[in-house]
Amino acid sequence: MLGAARRQLGSGPMLGQVLRRLRPASADAARGYAAAGKEITVREALNTALDEEMSADPSVFLMGEEVGEYQGAYKITKGLLDKYGPDRVLDTPITEAGFTGIGVGAAYQGLRPVIEFMTFNFSMQAIDHIINSAAKSNYMSAGQINVPIVFRGPNGAAAGVGAQHSQCYAAWYAHVPGLKVLAPYSAEDARGLLKAAIRDPDPVVFLENELLYGESFPVSDEVLDSSFSLPIGKAKIERKGKDVTITAFSKMVGYALQAADILSKEGISAEVINLRSIRPLDRAAINASVRKTNRLVTLEEGFPQHGVGAEICMSVVEESFEYLDAPVERIAGADVPMPYAANLERLAVPQVEDIVRAARRACYRAVPLAATA
């Protein structure tokens, strides 16, 4: 069946911009990796997760542009074509609507496709299949059709790639019933959540970040075990605190940890929550933290209107309003298409200093504007 679904190679080598940014050493200290055995990159975590799930389940296969002969635009699928052959690692033409539709049809028949988008911006070409064909089928068939498919690839802003390649799709896809939406930060997240996504009976949108692929994170022996997976819908407290809660996902978790380190030197104890799962959202963990700290700062790099932060704020207002000692602070990307110029690009996405200022305001530590005049 896979052989019938296979398309001729239609895309030549298209070099992906693989950029590395070093995480400050303070981030490791903030997270307190006591049981870590070694370090692996997010790229290695994703690659080994795919390899192990393909080895364990012959119904798992990969499809996308350059996933095979070119080893993946970001080398996430490196070595998998040689190991599993062209019937399970399928290079496609540049036609997202085409190969996504093939993948959804294969999932209808009990296979477990993993569809790679070279960037999630290109998923807009296939959004009808993702939403109308994948997300709604279980409901519309009264539970008779499961769609065990994963849509994965880099999401959000990279660096210098312009407005059409720099959007965060977390809020877009989290809006849709029937989809599960995951956004890993660390190597542990990437490995555990991708395994869970592949094993899940429902369609999963898996939002990676290009700038995190080359970052290394400590992992424990448990994380490296082939049976390891993380539960979908559960957030992780990356750093405990008592004065203010900061929620974040994907690359912004690292920024939140850096901000928490700066705030600690000022006597502000920030609790950092790595959401991991955008839909379902771990409302219980968020509200429990806010009921302890009495303050909330939400952080995301997507657009502010109807964003993930807006949903979190509303959840806290609905469930924990009486616990709030300060207005909620919401940090998001600028409400403009992403500029290409580096200086304007920096202004369009949240920075560590933005988080620090918001936390200070929430804790009433900010200097009044009148005092600086």
* Domains present along the chain, CATH in parentheses: 39-224 (3.40.50.970), 236-363 (3.40.50.920)
Higher pLDDT, 368 or 159: 159
Residues 65 and 94 sit within 8 Å (Cβ to Cβ): yes
Give buried/exposed letters for 83-96 (b at 16+ CB in 10 A, else e).
Answer: ebeeebbbbbeebb
Dump pLDDT digits (tens) for 205-241. 999 999 999 999 999 999 999 999 999 999 999 999 9
Mean pLDDT value across residues 92-116? 97
- Predicted pLDDT at 159: 86
Percentage, residues of the chain above pLDDT 70 = 88
Dump pLDDT digits (tens) for 238-280. 999 999 999 999 999 999 999 999 999 999 999 999 999 999 9
- Predicted pLDDT at 366: 72
- Supply the pTM of this predicted model: 0.88
pLDDT higher than threshold 80 for residue 373: no
Dump pLDDT digits (tens) for 129-187. 999 999 999 999 999 999 999 999 999 988 888 899 999 999 999 999 999 999 999 99
| Residues facing 141 on adjacent strands | none
- Predicted pLDDT at 367: 58
Q: What angle do CA 76, 79, 84 make, to 5 degrees?
A: 110
Catalytic residue among 44, 65, 96, 345: 96
Distance CA 305, CA 275 (A): 19
Q: Is 165 assigned a catalytic role?
A: yes
pLDDT higher than threshold 80 for residue 31: no
Catalytic residue among 165, 215, 238, 329: 165
The tokens describing 238, both together, are 């990356």
Percentage, residues of the chain above pLDDT 90 = 86
Mean pLDDT value across residues 40-55? 98
Distance CA 362, CA 256 (A): 15
Q: Which three-class secondary structure state does DSSP give residue 267?
A: coil
